[in-house]
Amino acid sequence: MRKQRKTLLCILSLCICLLAGMLVSFDAHAEEYDGKPVTGMDEEGNIYEIEPEVGLVEEDISTFADSNEKIVNFNTKGNATTNYNEIGTGDAGYTNGAYGADAAYLGESGGKVKFMLSGVIGQVDKGSVQVINKSSAKSVSYYTVSRGWLVHNVTTNLNENKYASSIRCGRAPSYLLEGGQYYSYDGNYFYTFDKYSAMLNDYKNNSRGSSINPSSPYYNYFQYLPMRSASAYSSASMDSLIASNTRDDSKMRGIGSSLVGNQNTYGVNGLITAGIAANESAWGTSNYALTRNNLFGLNAGDANPDNASYYTSIDSCIKIFTETWMSKGYLNPQDGRYFGGFLGNKASGIGVKYASDPYWGEKAAAAAWTLDEAGGNQDQNVYTIAIKDTLASSHQNVAVRADSNAGSTVLYSTGTQSNTALLILDNTSQNGFYKVISDGVLNSSRTGLNTASGKYDFSSMYGYVAADSIVIVNKGTNLAGVDRFTDMDESAWFYEYVKFVYDRGIMTGMDTFKFGPGEDLSRAQFATILYRMAGSPSVSYSNVFPDVQDGYFFTSPVLWAYSNQVITGYENGTFGPGDLITREQMAVLMYRYAEYCGLNTQDSSNLNSFPDAGKVSGFSKEAMSWAVGAGLIQGDQGALNPQGNASRAHCATIITRFMQKYGL
């Protein structure tokens, strides 16, 4: 059962603060309101009301003092929206500081303050915000890793050392450490706590070079999954997983058939729809849900929330939301609210115009993660997602065409917003084009959009985009074999070798979507590879090596290899499972494995043709001569590099050559 919601009185207070001996007032470029509750979310997906407060920060020096590290404070008026314009496109946007107070300060000119917040680089009237030194803030929003999940701790009042929301943003990428704390104002690139100034400089210079992941931006799967996708859950399954996360009086209970039925008719993902409903209605227990059957806050505008629509039933509300608001509205490229057909943030997606909460997309995605976890993770990472413009400063307007050539009909254009997500339908490009799902409803001849209808046919509504205009960031499980790995490309020298060993189950990935071709291989991992080649025979545990305890993934492989004289271990009696294997060690183990299999190991080659032949250790000379003679090792840039570490790509290459030579 979902925790009991906290019921707090929303209090709007207006104040004029004396800062640094001068009166600073904030103008009315914002809509102030007190009828619509402000909500927060915790790691478990619980939603609760929070008391909005004016968050002006007092400093002993001028608010616009010289400092290398500054923050733009958007919470200067409490529960109120602040308008801004995106730099690069001029698009109008808005945000509410009561949901997320801080933004990165990128400078100012002409009475405007430049900032980054929730992925968007914008400029706002100087009188609408407060610029403070970072050292004056008692809390700054940051990301952390908690139990393997990426969590966004969001502050709404810089005067307090606490966080109104802790939003679970999906499984943490491998380059972020458990318990680590990281800054990011786009949720894609992350900076360690000592790199705040470097982060600001990167933002100013349209770079992410100082981030932890400059070449591997992170994209929260459900936050960037296009709504034109289908959940795998049946109506009954959807009901079950929603029931496991809601109270008895929740208006979300029993909506499974409506979610799935409208998904199949109007092409709007049922699980993500449920995530939006959970966020907007506090899991079906908000006042509007209980009294108006309104799960999505429809027409509950910031300035006039009591204009929220009434519906005769929850089913009616879901139909209106999927058909009219989504399929014919936010997902229609000709609609003024279209900034991409996915949840997104303030740079792109539905959240640009749907909500004043800058982290609305993260919260709806977090609810989807919670539901999918309850359902056994059936929907996670199923689809392949590509991104147009992975930097907030890039603003291509990419054509979506009817066919895979530059001369074909343009069905619609993506828009100039950065970080636009597209759902890829094919493993490989055709004539330099990827087949993608269409955000808009297409007409029957597939020559353009049909804006009059919300009905969607997944089988016929697709288009093509130029492959060089997008980057694949998530290879889904709908892709076969090795193609699911985001770090694999058909043009790579090691592609066929990796494919060979992966298709035979000899080598698997580092995780679901990363093979790690450049990662060095450990002795434990290589023992496991040989064990799989041998058919993974049953092994009883015995305490052979003090550093190989029972229950590890490498325990049976190491014991099997030891019992068959493939592995002997170090002279000190240990195995060293975590030690990186060298190229000559790999040759020795392969030589012994060949002998174990009864294969002919008479091939031999004189190593003196290599400039570093003298560096080959005595224990490995026979094996290295065989490996070179058999064509398994062909040199590393003309050298043997015997003590060099072996990468996973090199291992895949040697294993493939071995199996092909001996017809295995």
Q: In 10 A of CB 347, how many CB atoms?
A: 30
400 to each of 388, 407, 428, 566, how far by Cα in Å? Answer: 12, 12, 17, 56
pLDDT band at residue 507 using 50, 70 and 90 as cut-offs: very high
DSSP letter string over 34-102? SSSPEEEE-TT--EEEE---------SS-TT---SSEEEE--SSSSBEEEEEETTT--EEEEETTT--E
pLDDT of residue 501: 93
User: Would you say the pTM of this structure is higher than 0.85?
Assistant: no
Per-residue pLDDT at 24 exceeds 80: no
- What residues contact residue 459 under an 8 Å CB cut-off, 6+ apart? none
> What pLDDT band is residue 475 in, cutting at 50, 70 and 90?
confident
510-545 per-position pLDDT tens digit = 765 578 899 999 999 999 999 999 999 999 999 999
Three-state DSSP class for residue 336: coil
**How confident is the model at residue 258, as a pLDDT?**
98
For residue 387, pLDDT over 80 is answered with yes
Rg (CA), the chain: 28
Residue range 52-66: average pLDDT? 70
* φ/ψ bin of 290: left (φ > 0), alpha (ψ from -120 to 50), beta (otherwise): alpha
Give the pLDDT confidence score for residue 428 in this predicted structure. 81
What was the pLDDT predicted at 422? 98
pLDDT at residue 386 tops 50: yes
> Which tens digit of pLDDT belongs to each residue from 416-467?
999 999 999 887 888 999 999 999 999 989 999 999 999 999 888 999 999 9
Give me the mean pLDDT over the 465-489 stretch.
83
Across-strand partners of 137?
none
| Residue 334, number of CB atoms within 10 A of its CB | 11
Which pLDDT score is estimated for 16?
A: 32
Sign of torsion over alpha carbons 539, 544, 550, 556: negative
**Any idea what the Cα angle at residue 193 is, between residues 187 and 198, rounded to 5°?**
80
Q: How many CB atoms lie within 10 A of CB 558?
A: 26
Look at residue 26 in the predicted model and tell me its pLDDT: 40
